[in-house]
Amino acid sequence: MRRKLFFSLFSTIIFSQDYSAKVYGFSVADAHLTIKPDSINLQFKTTGIVNLIWPSDNPYWTYFDTTHYGLISFQKNIKQKKIMRVTKNIKQGTFTQKPLFELNDGLLKHKKEFRPRLDSTQTLFTMLAMIMNRPYELLDTQWFEVDHEGKSMLGRFLWSGTEEIKIGTKNIICNHFRLDLKGIDETGGFLTDTDRLMKYVSNPDGVRQIWVEQNGNHRIIRVEMNANGFPFEILIQ
| Model pLDDT for residues 59-71, shown as the tens digit of each residue | 999 999 999 999 9
Domain contains 128: yes
| Model pLDDT for residues 101-126, shown as the tens digit of each residue | 999 999 999 999 999 999 999 999 99
Domain contains 130: yes
User: Using DSSP, how many helices (H) and how many strands (E) does the chain show?
Assistant: 4, 16
Whether 9 has a pLDDT exceeding 50, the answer reads no
**Res 3: pLDDT:** 43
User: pLDDT-derived band of residue 5, with 50, 70 and 90 as boundaries?
Assistant: very low
Domain contains 7: no
Domain contains 53: yes
| Model pLDDT for residues 165-186, shown as the tens digit of each residue | 999 999 999 999 999 999 997 7
CATH number at residue 22: 2.50.20
Question: What total of structural domains would you count in the chain?
Answer: 1
CB 116 within 8 A of CB 193: no
- Alpha-carbon span 133 to 130, nearest angstrom: 5
The residues, any chain, with a CB within 8 Å of residue 78's CB and separated by 6 or more, are 56, 58, 95, 96, 97, 98, 195
Domain contains 167: yes
Domain contains 118: yes
Range of the domain at 87: 14-236
Q: Between 11 and 26, where is the model more confident?
A: 26
- Alpha-carbon span 49 to 91, nearest angstrom: 18
Domain contains 74: yes
* pTM exceeding the 0.75 threshold for the entire prediction: yes
Domain contains 8: no
